[in-house]
Amino acid sequence: MQSLKELYRIGAGPSSSHSMGPEAAAIKLKNLYPEAKFKITLCGSLALTGKGHGTDSVLKKVLGESAEITFDSARENLPHPNTMLVSVLQDGREIATHAILSVGGGRIVFQGERIAEVAEVYPLNSFEEIKRHLKEEDMSLSDYVFSVEPDMNEYLTAVWEQMKATLKEGLNADGELPGGLHVMRKAKYLWQSKHIGETEEIAENRMICAFAFAVAEQNAAGGTVVTAPTCGSCGVLPAVMYYMKKQRKFTDEQIVRALAAAGIVGNLIKTNASISGAECGCQAEIGAACSMTAAGLAELYGMDIEQVEYAAEVAMEHHLGLTCDPVNGLVQIPCIERNAVAAMRAINAVNIANFLTYTRKVSLNTIITTMYETGRDLSGRYRETSEGGLAKLYKEEK
Ligand code: SF4
């Protein structure tokens, strides 16, 4: 598996595959061909939801207004659901072509470049192998991360600082989100709407939802976020971790360790399945974020590796089949609320793992494979194309 730096990326929202990945591709193109002009055809999901996600504007921002961007949703036999076909022009003639794939979480692949060219730093690629290793060495998941990547403490500290900064900005912001859906920000209202006689459980729910809304709304507004594992699902992990810091008094150092543990689960999902909504639906984004958060929280509470696995497995299992159908191609409806619901589900998954310890029947490996197979079986209408589900019916209702 690759470094956790490839999983947790700091960048501008609203979409890791539709804005962050294309931005990285444009920067690479600009460096490769500083004098050239570019014709780019956005295909598949990039063609269908690229307008809403701002793919064309981010490409023009980097490559200049002379870049010609077209949308071709009819093209078939694509190497990936998020494909950009690039023609590089210099002195009036084509000097190169590239098929660039935005494979999720902000990562891009120039077709022909093997994914393995990004260094594989973790020698173990399945939870079973990692669990065996941890038991033999008497280590936790975060110990494992720091043993393989000794500089990760510094990187994850920066990630955590960014997560907190994004969350606080979102909690203080007002007004309507961009894109024309007229969705109002709700994080500040949720945060401030303490009810008289509110029980501790209701306050916990309200606060965690406020935190998840805050981060997801910042993402929808194009603010700086951390992919965890994607932009669309970036609110789940920080919401739960910030609540644990604020209300349960865990330290920043403990939370950095939890992010490391969560990162291993995210990396396993990315390596053995997918974290791309265009490839496997929202289960690959919000489901992955919930599973990561459950693992991180279980580690934060000092639960053993079997309980960590149980929590991560439960969190993913109950997102199986979750479709990606963003209204108008914007990362707003259903995405923002979905972050809040998944944050609460992660806590529930940890509680189940705690109450029912050692009764688990399904392994994390199996559930990750199941998610991938389910995602590949999903109709294209439910894989970030905005052609089915809520995206379709919402439009018909209006
Ligand atoms: S529905 Fe889920 S996968 Fe699709 S854009 Fe929204 S958060 Fe991402």
- Give the residue-averaged pLDDT of 323-339: 97
Q: Identify the pLDDT of residue 114.
A: 59
The predicted pLDDT at position 117 comes to 65
Q: By alpha-carbon position, which residue is closest to atom 6 of ligand 1?
A: 335
**What is the percentage of the chain residues whose pLDDT exceeds 90?**
91
The amino acid occupying position 237 is L
pLDDT class for 196, splitting at 50, 70, 90? confident
Measured from the CB, is residue 309 less than 6 Å from ligand 1?
A: no
Which residues does residue 90 pair with via DSSP β-bridges, in sequence order?
93
Mean pLDDT over all residues of the chain? Answer: 95
Token reading at 172 = 């203080």
Residue 120 DSSP class: B
Tell me which DSSP letter residue 228 carries. Answer: S
Indicate the top mutation candidate among 286, 322, 386, 387 to test ligand 1's pocket, ranked by most ligand atoms within 8 A of CB. 286
Nearest to 186 by CA among 196, 199, 197, 173: 173
Mean pLDDT to the nearest integer, 223-251? 97
| Residue range 11-117, CATH number | 3.30.1330.90
Checking if the pLDDT of 125 tops 70, the result is: yes
Q: Which pLDDT does position 271 carry in this prediction?
A: 96
In 3D, which of 370, 394, 278 has the Cα closest to residue 321? 370
CA 284 to ligand 1: nearest atom: 3
pLDDT in tens, 38-89: 999 999 999 999 998 899 999 999 999 999 999 999 999 999 999 999 999 9
Smallest CA separation from ligand 1 atom 2, residue: 282
Average pLDDT over residues 336-351: 98
Mean pLDDT of 132-150: 98
Closest-lying ligand 1 atom to the alpha carbon of residue 277: 3
Residue type, 104: G
Q: To test ligand 1's pocket by mutation, which of 338, 341, 378 has the most ligand atoms within 8 angstroms of CB?
A: 338
How far, in Å, is the centroid of ligand 1 from the Cα of 85?
Answer: 24
Ligand 1 pocket test, candidate residues 16, 233, 280, most atoms within 8 A of CB: 233
| Å from CA of 325 to ligand 1 middle | 7
What does the domain layout of the chain look like in residue ranges? 11-117, 127-397
pLDDT > 70: what percent of the chain?
A: 99
How far apart CA 185 and CA 218 sit, in angstroms, is 9
Q: Rounded CA gap, 175 and 93, in Å?
A: 47
Average pLDDT over residues 229-236: 97
187 confidence band (pLDDT: 50, 70, 90): very high
Structure token digits, residue 135: 């038991």
Instruction: Give the Å distance between the CA of 385 and the centre of ligand 1.
Output: 10
pLDDT band at residue 31, thresholds of 50, 70 and 90? Answer: very high
Which of 283, 384, 392 is the best mutation target for the ligand 1 pocket, counting ligand atoms within 8 Å of the beta carbon and taking the most?
A: 384
Task: Decide: 57 and 82 in contact? Cβ < 8 Å.
Answer: no
How far, in Å, is the centroid of ligand 1 from the Cα of 329?
A: 9
CA of 241 to the centre of ligand 1 (A): 21
| Ligand 1: centre distance to CA 312 (Å) | 20
H or E element, residue 237: helix 236-246
- Verify whether ligand 1 is closer than 6 Å to residue 335 (CB atom): yes
Least confident of 104-118, 169-183, 188-202: 104-118
- Can you spell out the DSSP letters for 27-52? HHHHHH-TT-EEEEEEEEHHHHHHHH
Measured by CA distance, the residue closest to atom 4 of ligand 1 is 324
* pLDDT at residue 116, rounded to an integer: 47
C-alpha 167 to ligand 1 mean position (Å): 19
Q: Which atom of ligand 1 is nearest to the CA of 339?
A: 7
What is the band of 340 on the pLDDT scale with cuts at 50, 70, 90? very high
pLDDT for the residue 197? 85
Determine whether the shortest distance from the Cβ of 277 to ligand 1 is under 6 A: yes
According to DSSP, the residues that pair with 37 across neighbouring strands are 89
- DSSP string across 300-331: HTT--HHHHHHHHHHHHHTTTT--B--GGG-S
* Nearest by Cα to 292 from 354, 345, 351, 215: 345
**Contact between 394 and 387 (Cβ < 8 Å):** no
Q: Flag whether pLDDT at 383 surpasses 70.
A: yes
- Cα(339)–Cα(282) distance, integer angstroms: 11
pLDDT band of 166, cuts 50, 70, 90: very high
